[in-house]
Homo-oligomer: A and B are copies of this chain.
Amino acid sequence: MISRVLAADVPQHVGERISIAGWLHRRRELKSVAFLIIRDRSGLAQVVLPPGTVAPGGEETVLQVEGLVVANAQAPGGAELTDPVLTALSGPAQPPPFDLYRPGVAATLPTILDHAPTTLRHAQLRAGFEVAAASAAGFRAALDELGFTEIFTPKIVESATEGGANVFAIDYFGRPAYLAQSPQFYKQAMVGVFERVYEVGPVFRAEPHDTARHLAQYTSLDAELGFIGDHFDVMPVCRDAVAGMVESVRKRGSDAMQQLSATLPEVPAEIPHVHFAEAMALFSSATSEDVSGEDDLSPAHERWLGEWAQREHGSDFLFVTGYPQSAKPFYTYPDRSRPGYTNGFDLLFRGSEIVTGGQRLHRHEDYLAALAERGLDPAPFAGYLQVFEHGMPPHGGFAVGLERFTARLTGATNVRQVTLFPRDLHRLSP
């Protein structure tokens, strides 16, 4: 390893000659003295240049600097390197699309995305990805604690069964195949093996909507568990998974959250819940808008309900339960006591849906009936249906969209800000 002290540790070495290595974050030339600021994964370190010394490259060039550590209250961390010997570890860097050392981001989203390998080095842009990494780790840790097993399922599937038209077709050794829109069928099947499973992986939607919250590929945090009574047994597990994500960001991402001036929510021990029909009635009576015939929440409904949850329950989170059958996939368990409604739920976070879930059908005959009711041919579902002939317990689950969760947590207004190299209708590179 290149022998080096990390920038954050420099102040511990006052009086010693050490080496640091990192990117030339900034050159500052004053009348009588010049400084280099070196950036590495731990932070920034200041180097004092003797008059006449020139750095071997502009900002973003990678340098190793050997020097004597001297205390200086003005320097980051209270110490700086003097009497430096500079060695370039890369060629001179081309200037980045905007000044990465400035506190703000002086670039539009397309510029940021086109030059992501460079622009994401900016502390404010990088921070979102630190929050995402911490969130995913927290999801896994919470479910590990609850006896879940991690699975890895196929992303190439034989038939486009799940969501109609929004699938990507692939040429599979000369045969047609499709990219999986979710691990739904596989995670259900694996409840039969492990009872409780989760998967963190990419899902693919040939999403024709060009919005701030749709992507052609996103990271889905999926969980499924057996031996439930109904969806009210899934919701506490969902709550624990989300609480684990928030807790992990508190532990591992607090610098990043501070960088983004974002605040972490409290996750209530029991997240408040409201039935879809009641939610619509509340919205309608407050706004005098006609909501008859609505079977799903619009972004406006979600925003209003987010404010309502904050006002009524002091909660950033709200479960909306019992979605109408027409808004939920065929495998959703119906609410036998309330025809037309289901045991499906969504979780809103600060007025935006970040989780969808519910109880699923688990009896073979119920699947046949549900497909018939929707006029769907059971043939393409043969492999899936077979699972339910071999003894499946009552079960349910949920999926968190990592990018939407991260965006909501960090205040990003577009999921692309917290997606590494996003894919959408228009964007296929870098």
Which of A103-111, A114-122, A285-293, A370-378 binds B? A114-122
Expressed in whole angstroms, the Cα–Cα distance for A147 and B8 within the complex equals 13
Does chain B have a CB within 8 A of A303?
no
| Max chain B Cβ within 10 angstroms of own Cβ: one of A121, A172, A201, A421 | A421
Determine, out of A9-17, A315-323, A358-366, the stretch whose residues face the partner at the interface: A358-366
- For residues 210 through 237 of chain A, which have their beta carbon under 8 Å from a beta carbon of chain B? 216-217, 219, 227-229, 233
Q: Is A190 an interface residue (CB 8 A)?
A: yes
CB-based contact B168/A172 at 8 Å: yes
- Mark each residue of chain A from 388 to 418: 1 if its CB lies under 8 Å from any CB of chain B, else 0: 1111111000000010000000000000000
A279 at the interface (CB under 8 A from B): no
Residues of B within 8 Å of A75, CB to CB, are none
Would you call B1 and A363 a contact (CB within 8 A)?
A: no
- Whether B193 and A389, one on each chain, are in contact in the complex, defined by CB atoms closer than 8 angstroms, is no
**A327 in the interface (beta carbon within 8 A):** no
Do B154 and A137 touch (CB < 8 A)?
Answer: no
Q: A151-B133, A202-B155 are in contact. Are A390 and B96 (CB under 8 A)?
A: yes
Q: Are A89 and B393 in contact (CB under 8 A)?
A: yes
- Please give, as numbers and ranges, the residues of chain B lying within 8 Å of A257 by CB-CB distance: none
Residues of B within 8 A of A390 (CB): 60, 93-94, 96, 117-118
Determine if B193 and A391 form an interchain contact, defined as CB atoms under 8 angstroms apart. Answer: no
Contact B420 A151 (CB under 8 A): yes
Interface-side segment among A173-181, A262-270, A305-313, A339-347: A173-181
Residues of B within 8 A of A362 (CB): 89-90
Contact, CB under 8 Å: A1 / B386: no
- Stretch from A29-37, A65-73, A239-247, A422-430 forming part of the interface with B: A422-430
Residues of B contacting A151 in the complex (Cβ-Cβ under 8 angstroms): 129, 133, 420
Nearest CB of B to A178, in Å: 9
Is A170 among interface residues, defined by CB-CB distance under 8 A? yes
**What 0/1 readout, one digit per residue, does chain A (6-30) give for beta carbons within 8 Å of chain B?**
0000000000000001011000000
CB <8 Å contact, B387 and A117: yes
Q: In the complex, A315→B189 CA distance in Å?
A: 39
Complex: how many Å from CA A24 to CA B390?
11
B117 touches A189 (CB 8 A): yes
Q: Is A194's CB within 8 Å of the partner chain B?
A: yes
A154, B423: Cβ atoms closer than 8 Å: yes
Do the beta carbons of A179 and B190 come within 8 Å of each other? no
Complex: A118 Cα to B389 Cα, angstroms: 10
Q: Which residue of B lies closest to A429 (CB)?
A: B158
As a 0/1 sequence over residues 264 to 300 of chain A, the CB contacts with chain B under 8 angstroms (1 = contact) are 0000000000000000000000000000000000000
**A145 at the binding interface (Cβ < 8 Å):** no
Chain A positions within 8 Å of B, measured between CB atoms, are 1-2, 4, 21, 23-24, 40-41, 57, 60-62, 89-91, 93-94, 96, 115-118, 120-121, 126, 129-130, 132-133, 136-137, 140, 144, 147, 149-158, 168-173, 175, 177, 179, 186, 189-190, 192-196, 200-202, 204, 206, 208, 216-217, 219, 227-229, 233, 362-365, 383-384, 386-394, 402, 420-423, 425, 428-430
8 tightest Cβ-Cβ pairs between the two chains A and B = A93-B391, A117-B189, A383-B430, A60-B391, A41-B195, A133-B150, A1-B233, A158-B429
Q: A133-B149, A156-B168 are in contact. List 17 more A-B contacts (CB 8 A).
A: A21-B393, A24-B391, A60-B390, A61-B391, A62-B392, A90-B362, A93-B389, A117-B193, A118-B387, A121-B192, A132-B152, A137-B140, A158-B429, A168-B170, A169-B171, A186-B421, A383-B429
